[in-house]
Amino acid sequence: MSSKKKQAELIEEISGVNPLKCMKCGKCSASCPSYNEMDIKPHQFVSYVINEDVESLVNSESLWKCLSCFACVERCPRDVKPGKLIDAARQMVVRQRNNTYLSPDEVPELLDPEIPQQLLVSAYRRYRR
Partner 1 sequence: MQRIGVFVCHCGSNIAATVDVSKVAEMALMEPGVVHAEDYQYMCSEAGQAKIADAIHEKKLTGIVVCSCSPRMHEATFRKAAERAGLNPYMVEIANIREHCSWIHKDMEEATKKAVILMRAAVAKVNLNTPLQPGESRVTKRALIIGGGIAGIQTALDIADAGYEVDIVEKTPSIGGRMSQLDKTFPTLDCSACILTPKMVEASAHEKIKIYTYSEVENVSGFVGDFTVDIRKKARSVDMDKCTGCGVCQEKCPSKKAPSEFNRGLNNRSAIYTPFAQAIPNVPVIDREACIKFKTGKCGICSKVCQAGAIDYEQKDEIITEKYGAIVVATGFDTINLDKYDEYAYSQSKDVITSLELERVMNAAGPTHGHLERLSDGKAPKEMVFIQCVGSRCSDDRGKPYCSKICCMYTAKHAMLIRDKYPDVNVTVFYIDVRTPGKNFDEFYRRAVEQYGVNYIKGQVGKVIPQPNGKLLVQGSDLLDNRQILKEADMVVLATAIEPNPDVRKIATMLTASIDTNNFLTEAHAKLRPVESPTAGIFLSGVCQGPKDIPETVAQAGAAAVKAIGLLAKDKLMTNPCTAHSDELLCNGCSTCENVCPYGAITYEDKEVNDHGIREVRRLAVVNSALCQGCGACTVACPSGAMDLQGFSNRQIIAEVDAICR
> Residue 19 in contact with residue 89, Cβ under 8 Å?
no
Stretch that binds partner 1, among 33-41, 47-55, 59-67, 114-122 (CB under 8 A): 33-41
Per-residue x/- track, 66-95, partner 1 (CB under 8 A): -----xx--xxxxx----------------
Give the total residue count for the chain.
Answer: 129
C-alpha to C-alpha distance for 39 and 86, rounded to whole angstroms: 13
Q: How far apart are CA 32 and CA 20, in angstroms?
A: 21
Among residues 9, 10, 14, 41, the one that binds partner 1 under rule CB under 8 A: 41
Task: Determine if 28 is a binding residue for partner 1 (CB under 8 A).
Answer: yes
- Under rule CB under 8 A, how many of the chain's residues touch partner 1? 22
116 counts as binding partner 1 under rule CB under 8 A: no
CA distance 45 to 123: 21
Q: Who's near 122: CB < 8 A, 6+ residues apart? A: 67, 68, 69, 70
Q: Tell me 119's DSSP state.
A: H
| Binding of partner 1 by 47 (CB under 8 A) | no
31 interacts with partner 1 by CB under 8 A:
yes
- Max Cα–Cα distance, the chain, nearest Å: 47
Q: Which residue among 11, 32, 86, 92 contacts partner 1 (CB under 8 A)? A: 32
Q: Which is nearer to partner 1, 3 or 47 (CB)?
A: 47
Residues in contact with partner 1 by the rule CB under 8 A: 21, 23-32, 35-36, 41, 43, 71-72, 75-79
